[in-house]
Structure 1
Amino acid sequence: AHAASLAVAESPAKAYNPLFIYGGVGLGKTHLMHAIGHYIQNVNSKSKVVYVSSEKFTNELINSIKDDKNVEFRNKYRNVDVLLIDDIQFIAGKERTQEEFFHTFNALYEADKQIILSSDRPPKEIPTLEDRLRSRFEWGLIADIQAPDFETRIAILKKKADVENLNIPNEVMVYIATQIKSNIRELEGALIRIVAYSSLTNREINVDLATEALKDIISSRNTRQITIELIQDIVSSYYNLKIEDFKSSRRTRNVAFPRQIAMYLSRKLTDTSLPKIGEEFGGRDHTTVIHAYEKISQSLKKDENLQNTVTELTKKINQK
């Protein structure tokens, strides 16, 4: 993702268009988006670069409709050299926003202007995203931001320590990097927590102190993780079925509906990709998982019994 971002920053609309960056929370997507925008403007101060979150884009669209200022709204987002939209997944399910962004995308793309989007998942895994947008998001390059490896985690901690002017022993950084593997935000948070704990207890920073300071975080990470197998086990037992029923080709309602609930919970309670979820349910396609997720999501809005069932199942899963 970083190499692709640099290529786009150096040659907007010529390297990859659109550039679609995805990754989990705290991995630096927003930071990367801002860095691209700043780089482009530093190289060419005349470039018109606009960064916006999808939520702000939607809110501005709503206000433009309410105040009859559609022309001003379109001019703002279609007369730019680079448009960066953060958390684009949140336009899914919003028909008017998707319609407006579809035309904005086309206008910019046809004018050879750079489009950069970020999301917490790839386009094919965004439920209720229109197919015409999904296909356009896949026209350019889809780049994922991975969780940092050990060496990168150490580098992040050293950088944070330098910025904050902190004197942290190397063995403490190694300890943090070994225990916290998820994202930048949690790494930096762990470092600050250790420094605060040292200040409060008036003790020097070492591995023993770091272990004490992070014990709650580390112990919670060592608790049992929610897996698809666990979800299948809980849901199948609740409906007096066997896990094998979820993986079978049976389509009768007494099997199909619980299977859809299990797929829905797998999407909600785990970070597993849609294709992998489908695989765990008898090799089904990811579109089947999307359909199940959307069907249960819609039913939950109006079916109180289903709401109670899903709440109870979620509680059982979390208690295991």
Structure 2
Amino acid sequence: MFAPWLTDPLATLGTPERFIAFPENQFAQSALQRINQVESRNRGHGLLTFLHGPAGAGKSHLVRTSLRRILDQAPRSRLLLASAVDLAETLEAADELGTWSDVMATLVGHAVVVCEDVHELPPLGGLQERLSTLWDQLLEDGRQLVVTSRMPAAEIDGLSLRLANRLHGGLTAGIRLPGEEGRNRLIEHFGKLAGVAFDQDATDLAGERLTGSPREIRGAIESLARRIGRRQDQVTAAQLELLWQQPSEVRLLSFEQIVTAVAIEFGLPSTELTSRSRQQALIVPRQVAMSLTRELTGQSLERIGAFYGRTHTTVAHGCERLRDQLKQSPTLRQQVLSLKRRLQRMPQAECG
């Protein structure tokens, strides 16, 4: 059809890691528990849950965890997760091709629809009007709609009155950046994922220094882990302090080096991987390129998304989808591993 998430609604869901609860996200977690009631469908009484918080605060992670919980309980549930821009552009394309009714029927046929990053919609205009129509139909049909944004509705520049009213009429839950307790939990969790253990003093020190979002904390811990290497003993506060005092000599591959190598590997023009094209043949190569860019440069999802002409949510979904595919396809897994090794041997430069 128009996108893999429309023909395969779980294509972008992936397998989320364990959700780490802390005081700043507990209300949002409670707010999303009501979407577990996927069987309730009362015409004209759909539920809208609006989740907002800063970049990297964990909105997407929380949503995917909630959807996965639904699937564990009811495997046949019809769920859909996509960005607001992708949904609106799909409706626009359907309108132009004369398939509006079919696409709308497909979208409204889902018990739960998650519309991410509504703040990234172009100000006013046709895309917002098309998305408004979808929201109205979902709620009229008694569906559950979850909308995410980096900011409250009142702060979204150029948001139409119709969309704003819908958001104000739903249940709003904000996620704030983690406090000291939350940061310490995240540091311990991300350290285990990276193969590094911190003693309590080191955890406390890192919690004082790393005051950003969970995504930024994870990036910092992974960077530390690369410098520390895997070790049996726990990292102490003194060792951590010494690491922070030493300048990092790591130089990064550029985005251009990665996208060019992936394009050559798959026999495609490199410009296609950064274009807005939704051709099926580009999906896996683009996911490989975005995933390797994330892994080999450590740059933010926002910066990677800007390079590939995608939202940070689309980048995250693409990387997760690729991880699932690699588990099922030894051929693709070997191809990506070989490509990664070649990239790591390349002369490196400043990140693009």
Q: Percent identity?
A: 18
Q: Which residue of structure 2 aligns with residue 265 of structure 1?
A: none
Residue 76 of structure 2, aligned match among 46, 61, 68: 46
Task: Determine if contact 2:191/2:225 at 8 Å carries over to the other structure.
Answer: no
Task: Determine if contact 1:26/1:184 at 8 Å carries over to the other structure.
Answer: yes
What letter is aligned with 1:79?
G
Give the 3 Å change call, closer, same or farther, for CA 204–79 of structure 1 in structure 2. closer
Aligned runs of 1:14-33 on 2, under 5 Å?
Answer: 17-33=47-63
Task: Determine if contact 1:58/1:97 at 8 Å carries over to the other structure.
Answer: yes
Residue 113 of structure 1, aligned match among 143, 146, 149: 143
Aligned equivalents of 2:168, 2:227: Cα separation in 1: 47
Q: How far apart are residue 16 of structure 1 and its match? A: 8.7
TM-score calculated relative to the size of structure 2: 0.56
Aligned equivalents of 2:66, 2:243: Cα separation in 1: 36
Q: Which residue of structure 2 aligns with residue 9 of structure 1?
A: 36
Give the 3 Å change call, closer, same or farther, for CA 62–105 of structure 1 in structure 2. closer
Give the 3 Å change call, closer, same or farther, for CA 60–197 of structure 1 in structure 2. same
Q: Which residue of structure 2 aligns with residue 191 of structure 1?
A: 221
Are 2:179 and 1:149 aligned? yes
What letter is aligned with 1:19?
T
Which has the higher relative contact order, 1 or 2, with Cα contacts under 8 A spaced 6 or more apart? 2
Q: Which residue of structure 2 aligns with residue 225 of structure 1?
A: none
The structure with the larger Rg is 1
Question: Residue 26 of structure 1: SS of its match in structure 2?
Answer: coil
Q: Which residue of structure 1 aligns with residue 113 of structure 2?
A: 83
Aligned equivalents of 1:130, 1:94: Cα separation in 2: 5
Task: Determine if contact 1:17/1:139 at 8 Å carries over to the other structure.
Answer: no
What letter is aligned with 1:133?
L
What letter is aligned with 1:183?
S
Are 2:162 and 1:135 aligned? no
- Over aligned residues, Cα RMSD in angstroms? 2.8
Deviations, residues 240-297 of structure 1 (Å, cap 9, x unaligned): xxxxxxxxxxxxxxxxxxxxxxxxxxxxxxxxxxxxxxxxxxxxxxxxxxxxxxxxxx
Q: How far apart are residue 65 of structure 1 and its match? A: 3.4
Q: How far apart are residue 92 of structure 1 and its match? A: 4.3
Give the 3 Å change call, closer, same or farther, for CA 115–21 of structure 1 in structure 2. same
Question: Residue 138 of structure 1: SS of its match in structure 2?
Answer: helix
Q: Which residue of structure 2 aligns with residue 223 of structure 1?
A: none
What letter is aligned with 1:58?
A
Q: How far apart are residue 168 of structure 1 and its match? A: 2.1
Q: How far apart are residue 36 of structure 1 and its match? A: 1.8
Give the 3 Å change call, closer, same or farther, for CA 214–186 of structure 1 in structure 2. farther
Task: Determine if contact 1:20/1:116 at 8 Å carries over to the other structure.
Answer: yes
Q: How far apart are residue 179 of structure 1 and its match? A: 0.9
Give the 3 Å change call, closer, same or farther, for CA 65–214 of structure 1 in structure 2. farther
Question: Residue 167 of structure 1: SS of its match in structure 2?
Answer: coil
Residue 130 of structure 2, aligned match among 93, 96, 100: 100
Aligned equivalents of 2:189, 2:234: Cα separation in 1: 20
Q: Which residue of structure 1 aligns with residue 154 of structure 2?
A: 124
Task: Determine if contact 1:92/1:126 at 8 Å carries over to the other structure.
Answer: no
Task: Determine if contact 2:124/2:160 at 8 Å carries over to the other structure.
Answer: no
Task: Determine if contact 2:108/2:138 at 8 Å carries over to the other structure.
Answer: yes
What letter is aligned with 1:2?
Q
Structure 1 gap ranges (5+):
218-320
Deviations, residues 188-239 of structure 1 (Å, cap 9, x unaligned): 2222222222239xx983323323444599xxxxxxxxxxxxxxxxxxxxxx
Deviations, residues 42-93 of structure 1 (Å, cap 9, x unaligned): 2222321100012321332343234332223212222211100110112241
Deviations, residues 153-195 of structure 1 (Å, cap 9, x unaligned): 1111222233334222222111111111221112122222222
Task: Determine if contact 2:198/2:234 at 8 Å carries over to the other structure.
Answer: no
Deviations, residues 94-121 of structure 1 (Å, cap 9, x unaligned): 5222111111111111121100000000
Residue 100 of structure 2, aligned match among 46, 53, 70: 70
Q: Which residue of structure 2 aligns with residue 166 of structure 1?
A: 196
Structure 2 gap ranges (5+):
1-27, 248-352
Aligned runs of 1:169-248 on 2, under 5 Å?
Answer: 169-199=199-229, 205-214=235-244
Task: Determine if contact 1:21/1:29 at 8 Å carries over to the other structure.
Answer: yes
Aligned equivalents of 1:121, 1:82: Cα separation in 2: 22
Q: How far apart are residue 137 of structure 1 and its match? A: 0.9
Are 2:86 and 1:59 aligned? no
What letter is aligned with 1:35?
T
Question: Residue 229 of structure 2: SS of its match in structure 1?
Answer: helix
Q: How far apart are residue 41 of structure 1 and its match? A: 2.3
